[in-house]
Amino acid sequence: MDDECIHGLDGGLCAVCFPQAAPEVVAAPVVRKRSSNAKPPSLTGPRTATPTVSAAAPRKAAAVAKRPIDNVGEQRIYHVTHISNLAAILASGGLLADASDALEARPAVDVSAADVREARRAAALPGENGLVIADYVPFFLSPNARVWDAIRARSGDARLVLNAHGSDAYDFVIFVSTVKKVVDAHAATNDDFPAAVAVADGDAAHASTRVVSTSEGVDRMLVRLRSDLDSDALLTAELLVQETFPLELVTLLGVANDRVRDAVREILKASTYRPKVAVYPPWFQASEEEVLED
């Protein structure tokens, strides 16, 4: 616990207090010409072969500076829910998919529009497995995901119902985990985990969105989504986990302030689940200046 930062996060999790060092780039070796005391060849005498440096040599030397390997297992995933839903989540032992048979009642506060829920219940996962998007627990790949930012800014997104009681961002809790946690949980029973885990490069229920559900496909898509730092691909993408996401796979709960942290800890007293609860305001602040007035 000595490396815990002021935000309540472990050192390896807080990018503000513990920024990652820039990857070391290996400089290409410099080819030096060797001096020679030999007399210059006579223009009238016989020509002798002059050794030349191969054009491929600089390219080979430059190849030494390789691009760092992208470890997609370190990618964090985020699931946002209202604090009023936390007690039911703890009682069920995990996050449940919308279409799960184990879901006994609708969330106390559900900001998803009814037509969005119906669309996800009707959108089939690619393949012959008979599954739909609503069979999965959805996760964002960024704490600034577009849908979540619409809640933070109260920007009137058609996918959301923000006139529900308590739809202010600071009343929400963020469940945080990593891709590695998800993969390790499913690799023991199915190396390819078809249908158990999927990744969508946009809104998973949208017809134009590409969804992959094999281990190779998931890895490739995550690498592609993470490769362009100037792209907003991570802000719209989703990682999907079938049926349920056990609480033991959650690395921490993110909250907006001390008041919410204390409320969350009080709710946790009724459960054996004891996650780290971290106050991290930037996750709850709108990226846009435009805010919808009540």
Beta bridge partners of 212: 199
238 has catalytic annotation? yes
Q: Residue 291 domain-assigned? A: no
More confident residue, 211 or 127: 211
243: left (phi over 0), alpha (psi -120 to 50) or beta: left
Q: What is the pTM of this model?
A: 0.75
Phi, psi of 176 (to 5 degrees): -120, 135
Parent domain of 161 = 76-283
Neighbouring CB atoms inside 10 A of 142's CB total 19
pLDDT per residue over 220-270, tens digit each?
Answer: 999 999 998 778 899 999 999 999 999 999 999 999 999 999 999 999 999
Cα 211 to Cα 132, 134, 162, 242, distances in angstroms: 11, 14, 28, 14
Q: Residue 20 domain-assigned? A: no
Q: Residue 95 domain-assigned? A: yes
Under the banding of pLDDT at 50, 70 and 90, the label for residue 86 is very high
Per-residue pLDDT at 151:
92
Per-residue pLDDT at 98:
96
Residue 79 marked in a binding site: yes
Residue 229 marked in a binding site: no
Per-residue pLDDT at 214:
86
CA dist., res. 110 & res. 106, Å (int): 8
289 has catalytic annotation? no
Options 76, 120, 152, 226, the catalytic residue: 120
Q: Residue 244 domain-assigned? A: yes
Residue 268 marked in a binding site: no
What total of structural domains would you count in the chain? 1
Per-residue pLDDT at 201:
95
90, exposed or middle or buried, with CB in 10 Å at 0-12, 13-18, 19+? middle
Read out DSSP for 187-256? HTT-TT-TTTEEEESS-TTSTT--EE-SHHHHHHHHHHHHH-TT--HHHH-EEEEESEEEGGG--EEEES
Q: Residue 71 domain-assigned? A: no
Beta bridge partners of 182: none
Q: Residue 93 domain-assigned? A: yes
Options 146, 152, 238, 261, the catalytic residue: 238
Q: Highest mean pLDDT: which of 3-7, 26-30, 60-64, 98-102?
A: 98-102
Q: Residue 235 domain-assigned? A: yes
Helix, strand, or coil here: 86? Answer: helix
Scan for tokens 């719209």, then name that residue.
Answer: 236
More confident residue, 260 or 58: 260
Q: Residue 294 domain-assigned? A: no
